[in-house]
Amino acid sequence: MLKLTETHIQELYKFTRKHFVYHYDVQTELVDHLANDIEDIWQAQPNLSFQDARDASFKKFGVFGFMDVIDAKQKQLGKKYHKILWKFMKEWFSVPKIILTLLIFTFFYALLDLNINENIFLGMMLVLAITDVILAQKLLNKSKKRFKEKNRKYLLEDIIFRAGTFNSIIIFSNFFHLSTFSDNIASIFGKVLFASLITLAIIYAYVTLIVIPKKAEELLIETYPEYELAKNM
C-alpha cells in the first residue's frame, strides 16, 4: 500500500493555506484527514498521482471547500473561549475580588448620585474607552509578534488575542449613545443599572485584555497537547 512521505505532508499543509486555512491546529486536522483519505484512494487506484488523489479528496468537501470545517472549529473554540471567560469573570464575584468590584460600583454610583454634568461623565467614559483601545492595540501587537516568532498560530490563540479585544472596544463605545443621559439615570434604578454596566465593562476589559492573555500559554497547552512540544522545538 502506498504511503505519504514527509514531502507530501508538507505539500498538504501548503495546500490548506492556499485554501484559506490559516490556523495551524485546523490545518493539522485537515492534513490528517486528507492524508488518510489519499492513502485510501491509492489503495483503490494505486496508479493515481499524488496531486490527482489530493484533488479527488478535496472535492469531497464540496463547493465551499474547507469553509464548513473552519466554521465548525470556530464555533467549537468560540464556545471554549466563552467558558474560559465565564470562569475568570466568576472569580470577580468571590472574596476578595468582590470587594474591589463593589468599590468600583460604589464609585460610579456615587458619581451618578451627585448628578454631575453629563459632559464630565462622558469625559470619564472617553478616558476609559481610550485606555481600553490602548490595551487592545498592545494586545494586537503582541499577537503579531507571537505569530512572527513562531510562524504559526492556533485558532484558540487567535481568539484569545483578538476576539476579546474587539468585543471590549464595542462595549465601551456603546456608553457614548447617551442622548437621553439625564432621563435614563434620574431614578435610583437607572443609577444602579448604569453603575453596574460600567463595572461589568471594566471587569470584562480587564479579564479579556490582561488576565486571559497572561494565561494564554497554559490554556494552549491544555487545549493542544502538541503545543508544548512545538514551542520547545
Amino acid 24: pLDDT: 93
Asked whether 195 and 112 are in contact (CB, 8 A), the reply is yes
Amino acid residing at 59: K
Confidence of residue 129 (pLDDT cuts 50, 70, 90): confident
The more confidently predicted of residues 70 and 164 is 70
Q: Cα 210 vs. chain centroid, distance in angstroms?
A: 13
Q: Which of 59, 43, 70 is nearest to 51 (CA)?
A: 59
Amino acid 173: pLDDT: 61
Please say if the pLDDT value at position 7 is more than 60: yes
Please say if the pLDDT value at position 42 is more than 60: yes
159, HSE (Cβ side, Cα atoms, 13 Å)? 18
Amino acid 205: pLDDT: 87
Q: What is the average pLDDT score of the chain?
A: 85
Neighbours of 3 (CB within 10 A): 9
Please say if the pLDDT value at position 179 is more than 50: no
Asked whether 1 and 39 are in contact (CB, 8 A), the reply is yes
Q: What is the pLDDT of residues 50-107, one digit of tens each?
A: 999 999 999 999 888 899 999 999 999 999 999 999 999 988 888 888 999 999 999 9
Asked whether 153 and 24 are in contact (CB, 8 A), the reply is yes
Grid cell locating 130: 481610550
Amino acid 230: pLDDT: 57
pTM for this one?
Answer: 0.82
Grid cell locating 86: 465565564
Measured N-to-C along each axis, helices 24-44 and 67-90 cross at an angle, to the nearest 10 degrees, of: 140
Of the listed ranges 65-79, 151-165, 219-233, the one predicted with least confidence:
219-233
DSSP letter string over 177-197? --TTHHHHTSSHHHHHHHHHH
User: Could you give the CA distance from residue 175 to residue 171 in angstroms, rounded to a whole number?
Assistant: 7
